[in-house]
Structure 1
Amino acid sequence: MSAAEHREFTASVRALLTKHATSAAVRAGMDAELGYDPTLWRLLSEQIGVAALAIPEEYDGVGAGLIESLLVVGELGRTLANVPMLGSAVLGVQAVLLSGDGDAAARLLPGVAAGSTILAVCWAGADGWDEPGIHADGETLSGTAHYVLDGLPADTLIAVTTSGLFEVSADAEGVSKRAVATMDPTRKLAEITFDAVPARRLGDRDPLVVAARLREVAWAAVAAEQVGAARRCLELTVEYTGSRVQFGRAIGSFQALKHRMADMYVLVEAAESASQAATAAVAEGSASAAEDVWAARIHCSETFTTVVSEMVQMHGGIAITWEHDAHLFFKRAHGDAQLFGTPRRPLTHSA
């Protein structure tokens, strides 16, 4: 897609989410067993085709790409709607494609493209994503995957192990799921245990290379989400300070707050540039992808955390009430900062 087509596409996604992913709808999804509104996912899949974006046409997809998928992730960040986009239509799809297994892609991806099949990537161990929680003994899987996105509603599980990727039906004997308590109530995570479960190996590519590439995709996706959420926090803050009156004036007219909001704006703009560079590098398979994603991971996490903290400060006491959405963005910021792990060392500036 061209830049103009990207803008038009983003506007369509935002319009649908504005109508159907309101604060009340997101809160209702938080209380649902699946953690999201299936009707919203159906509308996004059928009317806009978001689940099919990164799926090649030969597997009934749109054949667009990762860039378009992450535009959707960014828009979802603005609303905190937890549909199976990041976990299934981005990570799940990319895991299958990265495996190089054409038979698996032909079997799994048409259902994902239609929005009727949900994939969940089972990856992290108890200490995070650097050590997989699942180990393979031949074609048999054992262990526990932690922090699994879309794990509860998943139809098919894609297990990441040091031996490669494996496919398992979510209702296979020996597989058990449980929801886990999280700081962020808008995003449900699951713990999935495999007890000597027979599995189907996906492709024969180097598992270290596949896992590294999948991590780049994951970090680029989270960065896009963080930018969308941070920009929405900035908009809400500007709106609130323009209507909140103290000493006979809107507080947004006070110079000190103007400066703080200007700083927020600069942070969001810079983070968006970092996110876009990372997404483009990963989508193109650029040699700089690892570095670009690393930088975006750090900068976008810091930006979202800073902007949402300023949002809470400038909203005052109302921001920490359950009724206001500021605390939901605050919790998403802290959850996203840890999701899929963090770089092992910070970026440094050479002299």
Structure 2
Amino acid sequence: MTAQTDLLYSDTEDDLRAAVRALLADRAGHQTLLDRIETDSPYVPGLWKSLAGDIGAAGLLVPEELGGQGASHRETAVVLEELGRAVTPLPYLTSAVVATETLLGLAGEAGPAAELLASLASGERVAILAVPFSTAPHPAGTEGIQDGPVRGVADAAAADVFLVPRPDGLHAVPAADAVVTPLTPLDLTRPLAVVDAGGAEGVRLADGDAARAAVRRGLLAGAGLLASEQLGLAERCLEETVRYTRERHQFNRPVGSFQALKHRMAQLWLDVVGARAAARAAADALATGSPDAPLTVAVAQAYCSKVAVRAAEECVQLHGGIGMTWEHPAHLALKRAKSDQIALGSAGRHQDAIAALMDLPAPA
């Protein structure tokens, strides 16, 4: 008999959640974020050092012998839930998950990949995989990689080094040797840019086949744990909506007591519960190295991306007029949810992957 999967949060995960939530509440509240998006950079100064280095969150996926914490995707998912709740602008998903997992696919022996991993685990450096943020983790999404400018690279502005896939393999290129041209993103808390590292040789980390396998591994982990970010965002939107509708009165009654709004929030609660199950299953499958991880990740992404968008839309709408204003943080959640909806593969791409993995007719 196979062991039953336990998707409940452990005491260690609860303690980690409390530490991250306290840090974000103190250093990256909504007013701070609203102020930061009016500047050239949304990143809160010093926050990455506190989360990645002081708490040690950047090295959760990295084994202890390589300088990390030796934890797993389950603990990393908890961090992303909290970052999603607060819509925090940090390169955690892109560096501590996607880039780190890519390097873990190459770090079997001592070498440049292992050395770079140690610096990422300590929070001293930030590495970004130079592929469009919309790239899906399926083989079709990583084929046809060509050298040249890459459009839509997330968190490129925070990078110390780029992991650049090329036809001959994967190269580590210092950010100072690449040309980074900022774009105007929908989600102002996750900057996008065009990265041109064609003029820099960098350090070759792996050849073509090994590089493609490592990139797919990084993107798969990113897609699976992105579901946890979407879960955290949806939970916060639901909580804030329930709180507001309890406080807002019309006709001398809380608007949350109106039956039509009760039904909408009850249905959203059911959706969030389903999203939690899907996101936790994806994190557990990645943590245990399950052969079903690609399927579990595809299911989580196909479901959680839609729930996050719906929760953010309901948050804006049920806050009434104030929810439509720039001064209220609801728009930050909606923009993050809409941006995440096409990140690391759209829901349609993941549904196609589910069909292929289960040998079913693809949806029209």
TM-score by length of 1: 0.90
| Counterpart among 42, 49, 54 of residue 42 in structure 1 | 49
Percent of aligned pairs sharing the same letter: 36
Q: Equivalent residues in 2 for 1:146-295 (5 A)? A: 146-172=151-177, 175-204=178-207, 206-295=210-299
Deviation at 1:256, TM superposition (A): 1.4
Q: Distance in 2 between matches of 1:73 and 1:133?
A: 30
| Counterpart among 106, 121, 127 of residue 119 in structure 1 | 127
Deviation at 1:56, TM superposition (A): 1.7
Residue in 2 that maps onto 1:143: 148
Deviation at 1:133, TM superposition (A): 8.3
Contact 2:103 2:214 in 1 (8 A): no
Q: Distance in 1 between matches of 2:13 and 2:101?
A: 21
**Quick check: which one's strand share is greater?**
1
Residue in 2 that maps onto 1:22: 29
Q: Equivalent residues in 2 for 1:67-86 (5 A)? A: 67-86=74-93
Deviation at 1:259, TM superposition (A): 1.2
Q: Distance in 1 between matches of 2:113 and 2:297?
A: 26
Q: Deviations over 1:93-117 (max 9, x none)?
A: 1111112363123321232222221
Contact 1:54 1:63 in 2 (8 A): yes
Contact 1:220 1:297 in 2 (8 A): yes
Deviation at 1:341, TM superposition (A): 2.0
Residue in 1 that maps onto 2:325: 321
Deviation at 1:69, TM superposition (A): 1.6
Q: What letter matches 2:65 in structure 1?
A: E
Deviation at 1:128, TM superposition (A): 4.8
Q: Distance in 2 between matches of 1:164 and 1:78?
A: 37
Contact 1:30 1:187 in 2 (8 A): no
Residue in 1 that maps onto 2:5: none
Contact 1:180 1:189 in 2 (8 A): yes
Q: What letter matches 1:152 in structure 2?
A: A
Q: Distance in 1 between matches of 2:327 and 2:9?
A: 40
Q: Distance in 2 between matches of 1:220 and 1:39?
A: 28
Q: What letter matches 1:164 in structure 2?
A: G
Q: Deviations over 1:279-324 (max 9, x none)?
A: 1112222111111111100100110111111112211121111011
Contact 1:167 1:200 in 2 (8 A): yes
Residue in 2 that maps onto 1:96: 103
Q: What letter matches 1:97 in structure 2?
A: L
Q: Deviations over 1:102-148 (max 9, x none)?
A: 312332123222222111110129x855257853xxxxxx3012222
Alignment gaps of 5+ in structure 1: 136-141
Residue in 1 that maps onto 2:65: 58
Q: Distance in 2 between matches of 1:247 and 1:28?
A: 35
Q: What letter matches 1:54 in structure 2?
A: L
Q: What letter matches 1:216 in structure 2?
A: L
Q: Distance in 1 between matches of 2:61 and 2:250?
A: 49
Q: What letter matches 1:156 in structure 2?
A: V
Q: Distance in 2 between matches of 1:301 and 1:114?
A: 31
Q: Return 208-217 or 85-94, whichever deviates more.
A: 208-217
Q: Return 302-311 or 190-199, whichever deviates more.
A: 190-199
Greater RCO structure (CA 8 Å; 6+ sep): 2
Q: Equivalent residues in 2 for 1:99-110 (5 A)? A: 99-100=106-107, 102-110=110-118
Quickly say closer, same or farther: Cα 1:158–1:22, change in 2 above 3 A: same
Counterpart secondary structure, 2:349: coil
Q: Distance in 2 between matches of 1:208 and 1:198?
A: 18
Deviation at 1:203, TM superposition (A): 3.0
Deviation at 1:162, TM superposition (A): 4.7
